[in-house]
Structure 1
Amino acid sequence: MTQRTDVVVIGGGQSGLAAGYHLRRLGIEHVILDAQAASGGAWQHTWDSLRLFSPAEYSSLPGRLMPVQPGRTYPDARHVEDYLADYEKRYDLPVRRGVRVSAVRRDGAFLRVATDGGDWQARAVVGATGTWTRPFVPAVPGRREYTGRRLHTVQYQDPAEFAGQRVVVVGGGNSGAQIAADLAHAGTDLTWVAQRPPRYLADDIDGRALFDAATARRRALDEGRTDTGGVASLGDIVAVPSVRAARDAGLLAAEPMFARLTTTGVRWADGSAAEVDAVIWCTGFRPALAPFAGLRLRGSRGRIATAGTRAVDEPRLHLLGYGDWTGPASATLIGVGRPAREAAREIAELLRT
């Protein structure tokens, strides 16, 4: 049986909820389809010690400030999870859980959304599938030869499981720094490697400044002015308390990236080598765009060309929360609100035609 609504939002994490908030405010009939069994999006799967980069009041979705977490300046993932669950209930957002979307196709005046629970027809679709389900691991020589444990950020949970082990953490961004600090504080035999020396932001900079920098860069580009460099111009790592403490204690000395993996460890270009029990890849993600493959919109770098959040070659499709190419800082809690509002307004205009 095919059901029909004005808008289908694919994904019930922070981006999907922000879209639902603005669609509801405009009185637009919609449904939010989410593959997860519970609310919280990717936050329910993160490692135990993960901390936000900003205080709670600067990590909020539209319409509802995140409550302060007692005893913490920077909230943890469980607090964010609870906040998203409360947000969903507070605004009575129409989320349907455990629904997996397999494809979005053109169907005359509609877009047809195929799921494991039946099809939907909609006049517009918002893609909010995120990136967590598409972890990226670089094609390092010897990757298939290595016989130790290999895992990505998405599989890491707690340093206790690596007690007494030799661990290499790969990646000079925030995830790499936080996980390396987590392991260092636990006394793990840690080697942290990165493509370039770690670039820490000033200790007084957090997510508020990052959002402002991303917004200023987008404004400059839209107005044809010189690229400000955005967040990248400030550095790569926000020094949250655990990272700052490990850094100041001399526990976060990053090594250059190794040249290859061996059967039992890693080897650098100068011939030096190390035996390791596990390699943790903190090497980022790719956008989870598989449901939209049938629309044939993918361009360079695996992205869909957008004007704001709207797909250039399919104006009934909006993409939300994948990074700066779908709105400044749109992959963050504080940053997704503005592009979600703009997407809802554009959809409202579309529905009036």
Structure 2
Amino acid sequence: MTPTRDAIIIGAGPAGLACAMTMRAAGLDVMVLEKAGQVGAVWRRHYDRLHLHTDRSHSGLPGMPMPPDYPVYPSRAQMVTYLESYAARFQIKPGFNTKVLRLRHHGARWLADTSLDTMSAPVVVVATGIADAPYRPSWPGSDIYSGAVAHSSNYRNPEAYSGRRVLVIGFGNSGGEIALDLANAGVDVTLAVRSPVQIIPRDLLGFPILSWAILYRRLPARLVDFINAPILRLAVGDFEKLGLKRAAKGPRQMVEEDGRVPLIDIGTLAKIGDGAIKVRGGVDRFTADGVVFTDGATEKFDAVILATGFRPDLRRLVPNVEGVFDDHGMPLVTGATANVPGLYFCGQITVPTGQLREIGIEAQRIAKAAKAYVVRAA
């Protein structure tokens, strides 16, 4: 067993790096473990055209704002550079290529069984993120479909899809942006949209939409959605005319109650409106060369991209604990002490006020709570 630390942090993405910084600032001896070989591994895998949906001023991690020469909505590559600079500035040197297989609570300490060794600490922070467990649903006939099927996490750019008919399944931000990326490159693309949706602009009345979410953060979701509904309809138009169904719940309610993020429109609706992106309903089943939609229509597609999101189940990582996870394996508490002493989760839920902003807030709360816990346990 390797020497002990005050805390073990799992993951060297934004949440892991933020926790390392705040916990060290609180005087804790921490070790960051990362299964990949670099910081920000998930960000490095995102598609090329990706930009943050949260503005620069609300996306910096504790102790280091994003560079002022970054655009309002930084790119994926700029986010990776920022994470590298953050780790360098605060001298965070993760143990790379070290996968944590299991966490065990042993007395007053946590044991982390890794691919290399077992580590021990009174505190452990799970900061593995929510975009590292692709969800790949299956449909009848999937096994006979002859085209290429890829999850959105494996999509990079339109080059591989030139001259092909492509179906994108899912209307979250990944689905909407990938369809837009393909359409801008002249690819024949169709969006399969199973459920009613909500759509919001990236900017509203000259301000980032995130600023409005932060302004209203203390108000009940239903009230916020009621207040915003008229102006949002003016901003995005009547998208039901485009073949989309409007969800009964407003955008804020969807996030808080269902964990579903509304589409932040950066051009997808315009491409649907001019016919460059076609919209169909849900997929009923696959055929050898295409799909049958729920309305009975059959179409041929050369490739399918599953923009079906992510479903991490952390019960595999932290087994045999009570009152920590919901029925899907997501933590009941994030940014504060879980039901088991010394266990924390950071950045593991979807929030309406910006994931990176929330990570910074949670990291500071975790550092304060972990410091108090370690002092009491000493």
| TM-score class, shorter | 0.7 to 0.9
2:254 corresponds to which residue?
232
Flag the 1:307–1:116 CA change in 2: closer, same or farther, 3 A: closer
CA contact (8 A) 1:213 1:230 kept: no
Matching of residues 267-286 of structure 1 within 5 Å: 267-286=292-311
CA contact (8 A) 2:134 2:311 kept: yes
More deviation, 209-218/51-60: 209-218
The answer to whether 1:29 aligns with 2:29 is: yes
The answer to whether 1:49 aligns with 2:49 is: yes
2:186 corresponds to which residue?
187
More deviation, 82-91/298-307: 298-307
Q: TM-score, normalised by structure 1?
A: 0.88
Q: Which amino acid aligns with 1:346?
A: A
1:3 corresponds to which residue?
3
2:357 corresponds to which residue?
334
3-state SS of 2:163 partner: coil
More deviation, 48-57/111-120: 48-57
CA contact (8 A) 1:14 1:41 kept: no
Flag the 1:76–1:19 CA change in 2: closer, same or farther, 3 A: same
Distance 2:179 2:84 in 1: 30
The answer to whether 1:304 aligns with 2:331 is: yes
Flag the 1:214–1:102 CA change in 2: closer, same or farther, 3 A: farther
3-state SS of 1:78 partner: helix
CA contact (8 A) 1:43 1:77 kept: yes
2:245 corresponds to which residue?
none
Distance 1:288 1:199 in 2: 26
3-state SS of 1:20 partner: helix
TM-superposed CA distance for 1:38, in Å, is 1.3
CA-based RMSD: 2.8
1:224 corresponds to which residue?
none
Deviation string 1:285-331 (CA, Å, 9 cap, x unpaired) is 0125232125464431222332753222x12110111114xxx4587
More deviation, 101-110/227-236: 227-236
CA contact (8 A) 1:198 1:254 kept: no
TM-superposed CA distance for 1:35, in Å, is 1.1
Pick from 286, 307, 313: which aligns with 1:261? 286
Deviation string 1:188-214 (CA, Å, 9 cap, x unpaired) is 111111123553203524452475278
3-state SS of 2:263 partner: coil
Q: Which amino acid aligns with 2:192?
A: V
CA contact (8 A) 1:258 1:268 kept: yes
The unaligned stretches of length 5 or more in structure 2 are: 223-248
Flag the 1:292–1:214 CA change in 2: closer, same or farther, 3 A: farther
Flag the 1:123–1:228 CA change in 2: closer, same or farther, 3 A: farther
Distance 1:109 1:203 in 2: 46
CA contact (8 A) 2:172 2:261 kept: no
Distance 1:316 1:34 in 2: 20
Q: TM-score, normalised by structure 2?
A: 0.82
TM-superposed CA distance for 1:265, in Å, is 0.7
The unaligned stretches of length 5 or more in structure 1 are: 221-226
Matching of residues 92-107 of structure 1 within 5 Å: 92-107=91-106
Distance 2:73 2:29 in 1: 36
2:239 corresponds to which residue?
none
Q: Alignment length, in residue pairs?
A: 342
Q: Which amino acid aligns with 2:297?
A: S
Matching of residues 35-74 of structure 1 within 5 Å: 35-68=35-68, 72-74=71-73
TM-superposed CA distance for 1:51, in Å, is 1.2
CA contact (8 A) 2:167 2:191 kept: yes
2:210 corresponds to which residue?
208
1:76 corresponds to which residue?
75
Q: Which amino acid aligns with 1:208?
A: L
Distance 1:170 1:46 in 2: 17
Distance 2:69 2:273 in 1: 26
Distance 1:76 1:125 in 2: 31
3-state SS of 1:120 partner: strand
